Structure formats: structure tokens, C-alpha cells
Amino acid sequence: MYRLPTPTTVAAALAAGTLLLSGCSAESPVDGADSGGEIETIGLMVQDLSNPFFTAMQAGVENAAEDMEAEVVTEDGRQDLGAQNEQIDAFIQQQIDVLLLNAVDSEGIGPAVQRAIDAGITVVAVDVTAKNADAFITSDNVQAGRLACEHLFESIGGEGSILMIDGTPISSIQDRVTGCEEVMEDYPDIEVAGHQHGDNNREEALTVATDMLTANSGVDGIFAVNDPTALGAGLAAEQTGVEDLAIVGVDGSPAAEEELAESDSMFEATAAQDPKRLAADGLEIATELHGGGEVENTEQLVETELITRDNLDGYEGWE
């Protein structure tokens, strides 16, 4: 499993596990010994702090910032692009040094990101891409979609019908769907009976999945773009009387761990991310760029890992 790096040890951590896009190198994300400029204030913007993935990300930033004696100011985007635009403008007024951005809309946030950069703020997108950002680091979400769907398709015997519950217009969600669709090419007897968008949370997934299951009786499985969506879909299945269904998600969240521990749960697998690792590495990249240093690759991916009941005991999780 990935270990949370501090700003001074991130190079070694990345050498052990980060997949870099350009050349797939396993070296540090920063080039050279320059530790970057002094950072006093770090802005962190996340999509939704009610999601434990983002609270873990916040903890990762705060832990990494301790050694820097830097202040972390966190803003909850509440899945609202307008709110994130206002938050970026507020950070500009506060004259923060670096911004770690988890955008609710990868394209739509672009103009606000450019305003921040024009104001001298270094912007690194974390977990999802953001137009105009100086750099980004995300999980390998295409890989995550592949891992989850390969398990799903094998679980239902390589044939049958599935539902796909999508999410908001961000790169991570879109990449997971792409990964699932790539695997589907190898399973010609798998049919997508329904494909709808949710908003990445359990409550909306409950509503969406209930409607989809009611309209599509006899489906064999559900691919959900994250764990809250998968867990909401599981609850929908229970409430609509569906008993024989395979459900997979992406995240590796504590709630997913609890569900996998239940032997009778329809939730079967999750492609696990490491939000603390993403946040800490993102801060290291931002620090180097802010100080005028060079980053070997400004587009970086971190591998994911499929967690099932079979390997759950060895999974360290986000704690």
C-alpha cells in the first residue's frame, strides 16, 4: 500500500509507487534538489467535504504542511461550480501562495484557475484535472474503471446486462467510465441496459438506482463511479427487492471496507485510491513550482488497487 509522504520524503515514496505519464518513470515528481520557495498559506478546495475521500485528502495536506509550518485553508465546493469560482476569487484576495484544487467541473473551472495564476498563485489540480492548472496529479482512473469492471464482468459470468451509474463532469469520473468501456470490448455478451448520471453521492445514487432497477428488471450487475454511488445503489437494490446483483465501485473508502466485510452484501469490489498520498504529493509539486523549480512531469498518475473480500484483510485503507 501507499504510504503518506512528508514534503521532504516524497521522492522516495513516489519512486516506490507513482506512475508518471511521460515515459512512466518511477522517479520523484520534482527535478533536482531545489526544495522550492517558502510557502506560508496553502489553499485547498475540494468538491464535497461530506465525502470521506475529501476529508482524508484534507488530512493529507495538513499532515504534509506541518513540517513546512504553513497554514492550510480548506474550502468545501459543495459540488457547485459557482461556489468554487467565488472561493478562488477569495483566495486571490487573501494572497495565498499555492492552491491545491479538486474541481467540481474540470473545464468550467478554467477561467477562475487562470485568474489565480495571473495573481501569482501556483495551482495544482489534485484527484481531477482542471483546465489551466500548472500541474495535476490524479489516480489512474482509467485503470480503476478497468479493474472494477473486469471484476464485475467475471463475477456475472462474462454475459448479461448491467447498469452504469455515472457522475459529475470531472475527469476522474469520465476516465473511470472510459476504463469500464474499454474492458467491455473484451466481453461482447455484456449489455448496458441503462446508463444515467448521479452526483457522486449516496443519496442521489439511491434515487437514480431505484428508478433504473425499476425500469430494468433482471439486470445482473451495477458499475458505480465511486463508493458512495455504489453503496447507494446497493441500498436501492435492497429496497426494491433485488437480491442477486453484483455491484462494484471506486475509492477504497472506509464505508466500502465495512460493506465488503458483510458476507451477504451485493457490493463485491472497489478500486482503491489513496487520497492522502495524492494530497501530499500535490503539495510537494506545488512547492517546487512556486519556488521556480522544475517538475519532471506536470501530469502524473498514481496506480489503484482492486479490493475484494479475498484481499480485504491486507488492505490498510485511508487511516
pLDDT band for position 8 (50/70/90)? very low
First to last CA, the chain: 12
Amino acid 34: pLDDT: 39
Amino acid 18: pLDDT: 35
CA dist., res. 93 & res. 165, Å (int)? 39
* pLDDT over 90, % of the chain: 86
- Written in H, E and C, the secondary structure of 171-232 is HHHHHHHHHHHHHHCCCCCEEEEEEEECCCCHHHHHHHHHHHHHHCCCCCEEEECCHHHHHH
> Spelled out in words, what is the top-level CATH class assigned to the domain 10-140+275-302?
alpha beta
pLDDT band for position 104 (50/70/90)? very high
Segment among 18-22, 53-57, 299-303 with least mean pLDDT? 18-22
CA dist., res. 152 & res. 159, Å (int)? 10
pLDDT at 66 over 60: yes
CA dist., res. 180 & res. 138, Å (int)? 18
* pLDDT over 70, % of the chain: 88
Reported as a single tens digit per residue, the pLDDT across 176-209 is: 999 999 999 999 999 999 999 999 999 999 999 9
14 membership: H or E segment, kind and range: helix 10-17
Give the pLDDT mean for 111-118.
98
pLDDT band for position 37 (50/70/90)? low
Residues in the chain: 319
Give the pLDDT mean for 10-37.
37
pLDDT band for position 126 (50/70/90)? very high
Give the pLDDT mean for 145-151.
98
CA dist., res. 4 & res. 208, Å (int)? 35
69 burial type by CB count under 10 A (0-12 exposed, 13-18 middle, 19+ buried):
exposed
Amino acid 29: pLDDT: 47
Give the pLDDT mean for 247-267.
97
Establish whether domains 10-140+275-302 and 141-273+309-314 are of one fold: yes
pTM value is 0.85
Give every CB contact of residue 281 below 8 A, 6+ residues apart in sequence.
5, 10, 13, 14, 18, 29, 137, 300, 302
Report DSSP letters for 131-160, one per residue: TT-SEEEEE-HHHHHHHHHHHHHHHTTT-E
CA dist., res. 185 & res. 156, Å (int)? 16
Give the pLDDT mean for 290-296.
92
Instruction: Match domain 141-273+309-314 to its CATH number in 3.40.50.720, 3.10.310.30, 3.40.50.2300, 3.30.70.580.
Output: 3.40.50.2300
Pairing outcome for strands 299-302 and 135-139 = parallel
Segments making up each domain of the chain, as ranges:
10-140+275-302, 141-273+309-314
Give every CB contact of residue 198 below 8 A, 6+ residues apart in sequence.
165, 166, 167, 204, 205, 208, 225, 229, 232
pLDDT at 261 over 80: yes
Are 92 and 116 in contact by the 8 Å Cβ rule? The answer is yes
- Name the residue with cell 510537494: 284
Beta bridge partner(s), residue 87: none
Reported as a single tens digit per residue, the pLDDT across 152-184 is: 999 999 999 999 999 999 999 999 999 999 999
Give the pLDDT mean for 40-58.
95
